[in-house]
Structure 1
Amino acid sequence: MHKLRHTLFILFFSATVLVKGQAYELLHHKVDSVVSSAIQSEAFPGCVIYAAKGDSVFFLSSYGHHTYDSLRRVAVNDIYDLASVTKVAGGTLAMMKLYEEGFYNLDDPIGAFVDGLRNNIGELTFREILSHQAGLYPWIPYYDESKKKNGKYRSKSISDINGSDYNFPLSDSLFLHKDFYLKIKKMIRKSEVSKQKSYRYSGLFFYLIPELVKSLTDTSYQDYLDYHFYNPIRAETLTFNPLDKFGKNRIAPTEIDTFFRMKSIHGRVHDEGAIMMKGISGNAGLFSNAEDLGKLFKVFLQDGRYDSAHLLNPSTIQLFTSSQYPNNGNRRGLGFDKPLLKYDSIRSSVAKSASFKSYGHTGYTGTIAWADPESDLIFIFLTNRVYPSRTNRALYDLNVRPSIHQLIYNYLDGQYSQKTYPVENTK
């Protein structure tokens, strides 16, 4: 009897493992199909897909090439420009820690903390701004606003001559003035603020976060993030200005710029505002591979812990990832994006199965990082859909990211598993 039960257990266990293996192969097949079709449609030249549940990274695959010339295949550890994912992996992260350390309250006006912000902008609260409820202007083309009517750049902005005052290279022939941030701040201060308090996505405040961190902590923004987050989780590739650490062969290029820098952007931040912050801002500028970004999002799902390190309080994560103004039709948390209040398959960047407790952010280069505490799932998609041009919207038209995200949920829900055969006559 004992031998019979043991034999039946082995058969049942083997069948279950086989079914799980078949389900995993089917998941890969379905994802491969979506990505292959997207690459053939030139939605992007290549990508890396990462999915983790709990402590297990169960999906990590690379597809395609860095560019359409197919000279360099994408590897799973390649580094991508995260674009606006920086808002949660950098800017908001710093704001979470500053909040925990008691430097500000969410309903404080930002003018009390950032020098020179007066009038309407200075009266806006951190809660309003971080949840995009403040009415701030969406964005400012700083490089264009720095030009005179004759097309030449104004003084103390951009020069075609490298020198002690113009010492940051925007390209091989354009150099940024060392104090250009003062002009950025002035443009933000003078920008229009809507009187109507409703959802209006804006990145303007995120340009001010490095100054805020420095003034409150006497530590640079980059060092603050490294010390409190990136170093403890050993996220080496999660960094600004990656060419300072890595060769171009590790980094996927982005756009071939035909209107500002007039060159292929490779290893420097794609976002025009962030490059005029010398590559370091709360709005954009971070680069990372999938695994290191996944480590950071594990901190969020593990109540602020990573191994033995305690990096954030669970209550802080809960607060910042919760919608602040849902009754105003605003889905956003504090810095974090959330699923649409009513799912729309055309507009959504995430799967229909993503719970409303889930959160993350997308990036203009085509990236997304998303965490779902209900299913303990992290989904990361890194790509360079702006290569060679930002005008390509096929990534969105084909619904690539939500489609892959949904396939992963279907796998976790067991939809790809065949039923195991029944075990009978156990007596």
Structure 2
Amino acid sequence: MSKPALMRQMPQIAHVDVNCFYASAERAFDPSLEGRPLVVLSNNDGCAVTRSPEAKALGIATGEPWFKLAPRAKEWGLVAKSSNYELYGDISARVMELLGRYSAWLEVYSIDEAFLGVKGEPEQLLALGRTMKNAVRRNVGVPVCVGIAPTKTLAKLCNKWAKNNPAFGGVCHWDSVPAAVREQLLARLSVEEIWGIAGRLAGRLNAIGIHTVLDLARADPVAIRDKFSVVMMRTVLELNGTPCIPMEEERLGRDQLIFSRSFATPVTTAAGLRQVLSIYGQNASARLAKHGLQAKVLTAFAGTSPFSGQEQSYPSVCVPLPMPTADPLLLTKAAHALLPNIREGIRYAKVGLMLTDLRPSGNQSPLELFENRHEERRIGTLLEDVSSRFGRGSIGLGHGGIKTGLDWTMKRNMRSPRYTTHWDELPLVKAA
């Protein structure tokens, strides 16, 4: 069998990425935003984290503060939206569920991108890419681009080409692009465009004469390993079509879970922080239950804003739990261990919980003497199920069982409706 025929029978990788995800999710339910410059803001409406192509054309940079943009927003026709994580999470879940219909080998890499294992002739793979692109647009309402290649690194590069070159029509297959054209495209891309290469690493590559993706692809992988790392050597091999980064069925094998938020209004009392820690404790419990995990160590921390001009304070406490648990009562009690370190009158701008030493639920039954009498009641699972169905704030425990809005909660004054997750915010359609 010839080498080209053999390569066509080997699995390839499709990388699917939603274009300007947050902005596209907003436009899916508000067509009036199409064609208009749009930015989605960070927590507490701080700065632009997503920019539509029209906003980029205005020269708006990622991270630009909203207070600087607001005075010229009317002049530019600029629309700003507060982050709507409930909407974005649901849109993401719909996209990933739909993509899963096209491959039994799906790796959800982030909220807006996924890798899929695919197989077929170049024409078949191009047709599959177009089918997925059109299906997501038609059924979910957001635009995606698709890159298909023998390796993850090349698939991401193909996606970049598909997104930035109209000639590809949003779908690019590595083997369908003539070799001479591929070299030209690689020569135009800075080495910083490669997956996993940041500014400082790019500077080190530039110092030895590697400025473009093509330069790195032509480098000796062994020499690159000796000067940099095995990881960088794998990147060189991936650029040359040798798969070195395997597909993963799950990305839940995390080492820690962090639940942290900045406040719209600083909290200045221990009683106020008790309320925050209680809510975060039960939210962390629900998150653990959702992923079938338990934690053995909880760290609680708080902090003031370094820009407040006021007295600074950054208390923290690490609490070993008596057993691996996802029980909200135990987690909340452990989080409250931070309270003796809280100083009244200090303007705390952020509080968080970090759960570490995570283990699968039910992996090992504790001895009866150490058994947690709340664990079998599956309270964390109950909190997650009720909250998923009726929204956050619909159920709570003790100091965390408050449904009404709180003045310290995240400021989102320009948030769009949560169209798909809250009954009272469902979109309305009026017939003429």
Shorter-chain TM-score range: under 0.3
Instruction: Output the TM-score relative to the length of structure 2.
Output: 0.21
TM-score scaled by length of structure 1? 0.22
Higher relative helix content:
2
* Max Rg structure: 2
